[in-house]
Amino acid sequence: MKIVFRFILLAALVALGVWLWFVLFPSPERIIRQRLAELARAASFSSGESDLARLAAAQSLAGFFATNVDVDLDVPGRGQISLAGRDEIRQAVLGIGSRLSGLKIQFPDINITVAPDKQSAAADLTVEANAGGEADFIVQEMKFTFQQTGGEWLIVRIETVRTLSSVTLRFALRRAAFIVSP
Amino acid sequence: MPRWLRIVVIGRNPKITLVRGVILAVLCVVGFKLTLLHIRVEGISMLPTYKDGSKHFVNRIAYIWHEPRRGDVVGIRLAGVHLMYLKRIIGLPGETVAFANGRVLINGQVLDEPYKEPDCVWNLPPEKLGPDEYFVVGDNRDMPWPDHTFGKVERKRIVGKVVL
């Protein structure tokens, strides 16, 4: 019985050690996943937020991006939209905030590939955006490129990915049928 | 409980029966998870075949023995399988797909599509599919084509066939 107890204790200690190792020394992939979760939270806002709160949110959102960030998006009805640098992103975020009553951003699927030198990484992800609590939602596959700068993983590039390449490259509104794994 | 009934229900050795039951349950759950994806349809582009909110399964091993076929309704992954497109395959690799007055033309021949509504007026120029590409579209062609997401998709994005 004593041996069994010692074995269980040893296993528990090993498990605790492994858990602590992952908490204290997280892998780049884990850090990037956390950054993306924080980004989704920072980009989301609800109705009734003050202008000051929105300004602070835009400021905090800009902190996820490198100073030389490059954003290249295909937007329905507006074609190609390109943004360069944190300031343009901050302005765009403020513009969106003033037009929408609320926004909820989620990344239901994320695939991260870290470069061998562990200084850059690419995240292929699905963006799900719900504006103002409406039933319609926007879904788009995107690629985020990260670079480690000063110990921080910052986004240096965002681009849309063509899941279906056709004559109609558009963001898929809810009118498109999606299937969701519950 | 009579002895014979107990043997029938829980076996001669209840411990072994319990272990067998647990192993069988684990195998069933793992097998089910690996082969079938439980899904919920969101949106109207597959009407009238698949209604908004309806629940189905995607068979992930449907294309182990053969490649996707014309008419199959498939799940198409974006970055993963938590959110996928639900579309019908109308064009196979190497074919040319076009829309003329709402009718689908495959290599210039009209495709018979009993599953879709007849009120369709789409006109789109021919698109040639690559050796690893399929052409997918929803069944609801009543809606204007600019609002409908469809087009060429690579084979690797097809997760499986929608069943049940």
At B150, which CATH number?
2.10.109.10
Rounding to the nearest 10 degrees, give the CA dihedral for residues A111, A114, A120, A126. 0
Domain region containing B8? 1-37
- For B151, the closest of A137, A164, A181 (CB atoms) is A164
Q: ipTM surpassing 0.85, yes or no? A: no
Residue with tokens 């980009």: A43
What is the structure's pLDDT at A135? 64
> Within an 8 Å CB–CB cutoff, is residue B129 touching chain A?
no
Minimum CA–CA partner of A139 in chain B: B83
Question: Residues B45, B102: one domain?
Answer: yes
> Within an 8 Å CB–CB cutoff, is residue B8 touching chain A?
no
Who has greater pLDDT, B143 or A139? A139
Question: Residues B46, B5: one domain?
Answer: no
Question: Residues B59, B139: one domain?
Answer: yes
Question: Residues B148, B113: one domain?
Answer: yes
> How near does any CA of chain A get to the CA of B12, in Å?
30
Question: Residues B47, B114: one domain?
Answer: yes
What per-residue string of b and e applies to B121-155 under the rule 16 or more CB within 10 Å gives b? Answer: ebebeebebeeebbbbbbbbbbbebebbbbbbbee
Cβ distance B48 to B73 under 8 Å? no
Architecture of domain A27-160: Roll (3.10)
- Whether the predicted pLDDT of B146 surpasses 80: no
DSSP assignment letter at B9 = H
- Residue B141, phi then psi, degrees to nearest 5: -100, 10
According to DSSP, the β-strands at A103-114 and B158-163 are unpaired
The beta-strand segments (E) located in chain B are 36-42, 55-59, 73-77, 83-91, 96-100, 103-106, 109-110, 124-128, 133-137, 151-154, 158-163
Q: What is the mean pLDDT of residues A153-180?
A: 67
Who has greater pLDDT, A44 or B142? A44
Question: Residues B135, B91: one domain?
Answer: yes
What is the structure's pLDDT at B48? 84
> Within an 8 Å CB–CB cutoff, is residue B60 touching chain A?
no
Who has greater pLDDT, B59 or A178? B59
Question: Residues B65, B111: one domain?
Answer: yes
Of B133, B156, B27, which is closest to residue B81 (Cα–Cα)?
A: B156
Domain count, chain B: 2
Residue with tokens 């504006």: A131
Distance CA B76, CA B158 (A): 5
B129 to A56, B5, B93, B102: CA distances (angstroms): 48, 63, 5, 20
> Within an 8 Å CB–CB cutoff, is residue B116 touching chain A?
no
Question: Residues B21, B53: one domain?
Answer: no
Q: What integer best gives the mean pLDDT of chain A? A: 82
Yes or no, beta carbons of B151 and A174 under 8 Å apart = no
pLDDT tens-digit readout, A39-89? 998 888 887 777 787 788 888 888 899 888 898 887 655 678 888 888 888
Cβ distance B126 to B97 under 8 Å? yes
Yes or no, beta carbons of B40 and A180 under 8 Å apart = yes
Yes or no, beta carbons of B79 and A164 under 8 Å apart = no
pLDDT-above-90 percentage for chain A = 26
Question: Residues B95, B16: one domain?
Answer: no
| Confidence bin at A171 (pLDDT 50/70/90) | very low
